[in-house]
Amino acid sequence: MAGDPAPYYETHVFVCANRRPEGHPRGDCASKGSEKIRDYMKVRVKELGLENIRVNQAGCLDRCELGPCAVLYPEGVWYRLDSFKAVDEVIEKHLQNHGRAQGLMLP
């Protein structure tokens, strides 16, 4: 909106790291490896020298069945990040080239 300050980060990535009790019917992102995904993404963003991009852990993003998931702001684009390869694709297509990793996007 006019008059709002510029975003502090160009892109802010929130990777769900929610953990539910074992056997919960909805599952959770942490048990699907989201913490390793988050750590890998943080390292890769730093290694590539991508400035103004912040990768953070989030609590429950309420899309457990589709996870591990992440949401990138300010665009509000959701991705399923189930492998390091998926992370690399999102970094290349979304963060570096300002496009979308279409095959990984969540509805």
Please provide residue 20's backbone torsions phi and psi, each rounded to the nearest 5 degrees: -105, 165
Which string of DSSP letters, residue by residue, matches 41-106? HHHHHHHTT-TTEEEEEES--S-GGG-SEEEEETTTEEEE--SHHHHHHHIIIIIITSS--GGGB-
Tens place of pLDDT per residue across the chain (107 aa): 889 998 899 999 999 999 998 888 888 999 999 999 999 999 999 999 999 999 999 999 999 899 899 999 999 999 999 999 999 999 999 999 999 999 999 99
Are 72 and 79 in contact by the 8 Å Cβ rule? The answer is yes
In a domain, 62, yes or no: yes
CATH code at position 35? 3.40.30.10
In a domain, 6, yes or no: no
In a domain, 73, yes or no: yes
Half-sphere exposure of 92 (CA within 13 A, CB side): 9
* Domain extent for 35: 11-104
Virtual torsion, Cα 36, 95, 45, 5, nearest 10 deg: -110
Residue bearing tokens 């665009």: 75
pTM beyond 0.85: the answer is yes
In a domain, 4, yes or no: no
Q: How many domains does the chain have?
A: 1
- The pLDDT value recorded for residue 64 is 87
- The pLDDT value recorded for residue 27 is 87
In a domain, 59, yes or no: yes
CA distance 28 to 91: 23
